[in-house]
Amino acid sequence: MSVKVSQMTVDELREMIGVVVEEKLQSLFANEDDLEFTDELKEILARQGERIKNGDRGEALEDVVARLGLD
């Protein structure tokens, strides 16, 4: 069964996002026992760090909410 985000409760959406983030983080770790970062994750974090140093803070939550029609 597929459910549209607009049909989900806030708690259901949070749970879904949490699961997706957890799965992505697990896929970026090379060895879960040693918790070593993969080269891919190191590169992502380095790029993100550079963007933050350059003043990029990403998209404002309010803008995302409005763009997705969640307001």
Tens digit of pLDDT at every position of the chain (71 positions): 588 888 988 888 888 898 888 888 777 765 666 667 778 888 888 898 898 889 888 888 888 888 888 87
The residues, ordered by sequence, that sit 6+ positions from 36 with a Cβ below 8 Å of its Cβ are 29, 30
- Residue 23: per-residue pLDDT: 82
Our measurement of the distance from residue 47's CA atom to the centroid of its chain's CA atoms, rounded to an integer in Å, reads 15
- Residue 32: per-residue pLDDT: 60
- Residue 29: per-residue pLDDT: 67
| DSSP-derived secondary structure letter, 8 | S
CA distances, 49 to each of 28, 58, 61 (Å): 17, 12, 20
- Residue 1: per-residue pLDDT: 58
pTM comes to 0.43
Per-domain residue ranges of the chain? 8-67
